[in-house]
Amino acid sequence: MERTRVVIVGAGFGGIGMALALLRAGIEDFLVLERADDVGGVWRDNTYPGAACDVPSSLYSYSFAPNRTWPRRYAGQADILDYLKRTAAPVMGRVRTRAGVTGAEYRDGRWQVRTERGVVVADVLVSAVGQLSTPAVPRLAGAERFAGPAFHSARWRHDVDLRGKRVAVVGTGASAVQFVPHVRKQALGLTVFQRTAAHVVPKPDTAFRRTATRRGGRLATWLVGEALSAALDSRHVGAVEALAAAHLRLRVRDPVLRAKLTPRIRAGCKRLLFSNDWYPALASPNTAVVTQPIAEVTAHGVRTSDGVEHPADVLVYGTGFAATDFLTSLPVAGLAEAWADGARAHLGITVPGFPNLFLVYGPNTNLGGNSIITMIEAQCRYIASVLRATPAGARVEVRREVAEAFDAEMRVRLDRSVWATCDNWYRQGDGRITTNWPGLVWEYARRVRRPDPRDFRVVA
């Protein structure tokens, strides 16, 4: 059994950012537990063709460790993973890989954290598993009968040769718009099953030519991101919808296909997509877009509700992640009961009834139009500040009335948001939005800049 002051679960941007924040706060007694064999989080796992960020590179880095060597305005997966590994160098000695957490319980004033490599006892537990770590694979009738390779985009099978194959893709979200154009170039035929058409806007991606461009771009990009967040407010989405409609008209000439790809929802209700080659890929002669609901998967294809069987040799799920199921990667005793009707946390960070537990990228901290790294960094600073002000071994817990007031505010504001106007991955089954932050990043950063001691109950 091992003993440390702080255990951090997850070694993606959240976990590494938390570890670096602790170092800067003078707290060196911590351990990072990672279930995989290396750091990187989603940028380690998502290696599908064309994987890249849809947030500009100048903003997709920690403010205290800007990257001067981004090759493009929108960085690819390999470049982001390389940046995170280099930035993580000061804390790599405290990262334990292949140590997935199987359970955690607060007992006798300490967190007992069970891992695949033994038990770690800690004063403080920080979950940095994020919202996009568990792939969501739909339960399709007959899926187990499919004779060919079938895999999720976040678990890409690089050993499967797609050349000359008939490929079926289920899903048309942020991952699919990146890998479908690449798959289309290899496949004999490509069938894309679309449930809901999304708004797609051009992606202004170019190679960086001058270092000055990268240095001066962060603030300007952040302001553009804030403007996009404001534009995605349900009252101001018209401009975004007009841009997406013009992009669709320009890229898709076939009126039948264009009708299939025309969104019937407000912009921003589902994640806004950025791509220059999505529409050309769907308009290619070897690609078909199917909007009929899937009835079942057969041994050699996918049958839709109209009775048509669409032949396929390979099945790829581009169906995103179980973002609202925060408990999947966070097996904390008692939390399932506390979150029975939806995950909630004060400022997305602390949960009443769970002392010395902190969350990075927790409930209601996801964004629709800016960089999540800025949110994560603000949360890490907040947690480090709380721990620096708390005596080692003390018990700190957010007051229930404080957390409930914050949750009530979130529900009112989110019920007025564009995300409440359609079904999407931001909402759980009863319609409650447990993932997203309803305001701008500057507001969130201001609210977490200095922890309010009155929000907490501290017992030495």
pLDDT of residue 233: 64
Chosen domain end from 287, 317, 347? 317
User: What distance in Å separates the CA atoms of residue 13 and residue 301, rounded to the nearest whole number?
Assistant: 38
Identify whether residues 213 and 234 lie together within a single domain: yes
Number of helices (H) and strands (E), helices first, in the chain?
12, 19
Determine contact, residues 302/191, Cβ cutoff 8 Å: yes
Chosen domain end from 271, 290, 317? 317
Kindly state whether residue 245 falls inside one of the protein's structural domains: yes
Determine contact, residues 379/361, Cβ cutoff 8 Å: yes
Kindly state whether residue 353 falls inside one of the protein's structural domains: yes
User: What distance in Å separates the CA atoms of residue 124 and residue 146, rounded to the nearest whole number?
Assistant: 46
Identify whether residues 156 and 289 lie together within a single domain: yes
Chosen domain end from 258, 293, 317? 317
Kindly state whether residue 62 falls inside one of the protein's structural domains: no
- The CATH number for 214's domain is 3.50.50.60
Quick one: 385 exposed, middle or buried, by C-beta within 10 A (0-12, 13-18, 19+)?
middle
pLDDT of residue 212: 45
Kindly state whether residue 45 falls inside one of the protein's structural domains: no
CA angle 195, 425, 180 (to 5 degrees): 50
Kindly state whether residue 44 falls inside one of the protein's structural domains: no
Total number of domains in the chain:
2
Identify whether residues 344 and 310 lie together within a single domain: no
Identify whether residues 27 and 175 lie together within a single domain: no
Model pTM? 0.93
Identify whether residues 298 and 241 lie together within a single domain: yes
Identify whether residues 276 and 158 lie together within a single domain: yes
Identify whether residues 119 and 152 lie together within a single domain: no
Integer CA distances (angstroms), 398 to 334, 386, 459, in order: 16, 11, 12
Identify whether residues 280 and 156 lie together within a single domain: yes
Identify whether residues 310 and 440 lie together within a single domain: no
pLDDT of residue 181: 98
- For the four alpha carbons of 187, 247, 51 and 365, in that order, the dihedral sign comes to negative
Kindly state whether residue 155 falls inside one of the protein's structural domains: yes
Please give the residue range of the domain that contains residue 194. 143-317
Identify whether residues 222 and 359 lie together within a single domain: no
State the first-to-last Cα distance of the chain, in angstroms, to the nearest integer: 24
- Residues in the chain with pLDDT values less than 70: 209-217, 231-236, 323-324, 326-328
- For the four alpha carbons of 31, 63, 448 and 77, in that order, the dihedral sign comes to negative
Please write the tens of the pLDDT for every residue from 100-141.
999 999 999 999 999 999 999 999 999 999 887 788 899 999
